[in-house]
Amino acid sequence: MNGADPVPEPTDDIMCATYRALCRHGYAELTMQDIADEWSKSKPALHYHYDTKRGLLLAFLDHLYDAYTDRVAAPDEGTPRARLDALIDAALDPPRADAHRELRTALFEVKAQAPYDEAFRERLGRFDDYLDTEIRRVVAEGVETGTFRADIDPSTTATLLLTLVNGAHARRVALGTDGGVRAAIDDFVDDHLGEAEP
């Protein structure tokens, strides 16, 4: 830093503006002008940082991914079951769930565009890969320490839980409800992993 304050990066401001613009307008209707308006700067100023809406959205997915890995990481402390529960809760129920609902709907629109865009697919895949790895790690530790059933396959368990999280998100967006899936997942984990928290 050479003793000088670092020049503030405009990127964080733009990411916040993108977040607000996505919540307000959704993805399909979103324009660079909408984002510039939320940023309280001009559209040319925004284009100085990002050439296209697509480029900005890809950067926004990277930004969300960083926040996701901070939030969804399994805690270091606690029993494997408590850590697995915390992981599922974090993946299913983000903080500020109300504000998040609008973002989730917008991200669902982004997902619908993914079949047409390899870079979007790659970015979206990283969220699932991260959750998959975290679940496998905690389940494997539970099996190794004898807390979970010895015949459990951590990889299969991770695939099931990851798909359940994806399905819950999809049903919330499309139907407005996930049909009480958190309690059902709890029953599944009790039954499948063979350990109930006292």
Q: Which is nearer to a copy of itself, 14 or 161 (CB)?
A: 161
187 lines the binding site for a copy of itself (CB under 8 A): yes
* Locus of tokens 């100023």: 45
Site for a copy of itself in 86-105 (CB under 8 A): 101, 105
121 lines the binding site for a copy of itself (CB under 8 A): yes
Write the single-letter amino acid at 85. D
Q: Which long-range contacts (CB under 8 A, 24 or more apart) does 138-143 make?
A: 138/74, 138/80, 138/83, 138/84, 138/87, 139/80, 139/84, 139/193, 141/80, 142/79, 142/80, 142/81, 142/84, 142/193, 142/195
Distance of alpha carbon 182 from alpha carbon 164, whole angstroms: 9
Site for a copy of itself in 21-40 (CB under 8 A): 28
Out of 97, 112, 119, 196, the only residue in the binding site for a copy of itself (CB under 8 A) is 112
Q: Which residues bind a copy of itself (CB under 8 A)?
A: 28, 101, 105, 108-109, 111-112, 114-115, 121, 124-125, 128, 132, 153, 156, 159-160, 162-171, 173-176, 178-181, 183-185, 187-188, 191-192
